[in-house]
Amino acid sequence: MAVFLGLPLLIYVGLVLWPFGQAFYYSLTAWSGFSPPKGFVGLDNYARIFSDATFLRAMRNNVILVVVVPLVTIVLSLALASVLTVSGSSTGEVRGLRGSSLYRVVSFFPYAVPAIVIGLIWGMVYNPRGGLLNGFLTALGFDAFAAFPWLGDTDTAMGATIFVMVWAMVGFYMVLFVAAIRGVDKEVFEAARLDGAGRFRTAVTITVPLIRDNVQTAYIYLGIAALDAFVFMQAMNPTGGPDNSTLVMAQELFRTAFTQNRWGEASAMGVVLALVTLAFAALVFVVNRLTGAEKDEGKRT
């Protein structure tokens, strides 16, 4: 039995927990280049990254992402999931739409495509030279967009990137919410209908409260993905976008570590990223509790 537990634990502790712990220690040392870490410098690295305009810019971009990406993704995927599950006939049994499985399968496609490839495809779609989007817009008569650089303009780079992240993630959460809505007792929806609630009202006042724990989980996952965002950004704006308008903390961390070899500062950025992630998860959790998460009778019966 010792082998059963010992071997996995050895790998896990050595390659996951030990590095996590070391990161906190390294963040307190003056360590750059390939020499061993030298000198305990307290919070100097933190002071330095928090007075670095580029890192602060990256942090601000992450905040934008963490506010917008989960919100848009959840609203869109909930809307699509509701349409799929309860927008069938308003008489008889509460049912979904005909042909719903086709939509479900296709929407889920992006989950089976590596994020780096999604970013690459959309980088080409947005490409000012021969890109699909500008080709489409000029075909519609918007000639001003003939060579518009969507990812190269400070006004559009962030929005265009957010759209791609939403595109990539909606399908997964839609399927998740479809599963959650199916877990709700059908009689709840039938009772709502008998009481005269329309479809929209049912979705907002019945469905969302009943699956709020799933929404919370989705919000936390999406927030974590938005705080990371590394792959999408590396694929579409590897250098941080025009005027660093899409630079995220993860990219700055990666650059600080692996091109500049400033390991101490990079570790401090890692700690900040981890703390922001935990704070975000805690915030979502608290908000969910404060707005009355215990009202979940009728769920999963």
Partner 1 sequence: MTTIDEARPTATTVDEAQPLRTTRTTGGDKAVAVASHVVLVVWTIIILIPLLWSLLSSFKSSSEIISGSPFALPETWLFGNYARAWTEAGIGRYFLNTVLVVGSALVLVMLLGAMCAYVLARYSFPGRRLIYYLMLAGLTFPVFLAIVPLFFVLRGMALLNTLPGLVLTYVAFALPFTVFFLYAFFRTLPEEIAEAAAIDGCGDWRTFFSVMLPMAKPGLASVTIFNFLGLWNQYLIPVAINTRQENWVLSQGMGAYAGQIGYEIDFGGLFAAVVITITPVLIVYVIFQRQVQNSVTGGALK
- Candidate residues 49, 69, 180, 206; the one interacting with partner 1 per rule CB under 8 A: 180
Site for partner 1 in 42-81 (CB under 8 A): 79-80
Q: Based on the shown chain and the rule CB under 8 A, indicate whether residue 135 belongs to the binding site for partner 1.
A: yes
Stretch that binds partner 1, among 44-52, 55-63, 67-75, 255-263 (CB under 8 A): 255-263
At closest approach, how far in Å is the CB of 37 from partner 1? 9
Single out the residue of 62, 73, 207, 267 in contact with partner 1 (rule: CB under 8 A). Answer: 267
From candidates 42, 130, 141, 196, binder to partner 1 by CB under 8 A: 130
β-partners of residue 40 are 29
Residue closest to 165 by CA, chosen among 54, 67, 59, 239: 67
By CB under 8 A, tell whether 219 contacts partner 1.
Answer: no
Q: Is the dihedral of CA 133, 111, 104, 218 positive or negative?
A: negative
Residues of this chain, 195-214, that bind partner 1 according to CB under 8 A: 199, 214
Burial class (CB in 10 A: 0-12, 13-18, 19+), 225: buried
Figure out which of the listed residues 142, 154, 182, 205 binds partner 1, where binding follows CB under 8 A.
182
Closer by beta carbon to partner 1, 67 or else 113:
113
Take residue 153 and report the two structure tokens written for it: 């303009």
Q: Which candidate, 127, 200, 125, 136, places its Cα nearest to that of 168?
A: 125
- Among the candidate windows 46-54, 55-63, 154-162, 233-241, which touches partner 1 by CB under 8 A? 233-241
270 lies in the site for partner 1, by CB under 8 A: yes
User: What does the block give as tokens for 215?
Assistant: 């929404």
Q: How far apart are CA 200 and CA 213, in angstroms?
A: 20
CA pair distance 16, 111, nearest whole angstrom: 25
Please report whether residue 228 would count as binding partner 1 according to CB under 8 A: yes
Q: How far is CA 75 from CA 68, 108, 218, 227, in A?
A: 11, 17, 11, 19
Give me 5's structure tokens: 């537990």
Residue 161: exposed, middle, or buried by beta-carbon count in 10 A (0-12, 13-18, 19+)? buried
Rounded to a whole number of angstroms, the minimum distance from the CB of residue 221 to partner 1 is 7
Among 46, 145, 148, 230, binds partner 1 (CB under 8 A): 230
The strand pair at 38-40 and 29-30 is best described as: antiparallel
Note whether 235 binds partner 1 by CB under 8 A: yes
Using CB under 8 A as the binding rule, whether residue 41 contacts partner 1 is answered as no
List binders of partner 1 among 85-104 (CB under 8 A).
85, 87-93, 95-104
Element (H, E) at 40: strand 38-40
- 40 lines the binding site for partner 1 (CB under 8 A): no
Query: Among residues 58, 66, 73, 123, which is the contact residue for partner 1, using CB under 8 A?
Result: 123
Nearer CB in complex with partner 1: 53/98: 98
Query: Rounded distance, CA 39 to CA 20, Å?
Result: 20
Q: State which of residues 29, 107, 161, 245 lies at the interface with partner 1 (CB under 8 A).
A: 107
Smallest distance from partner 1 to CB 82, Å: 9
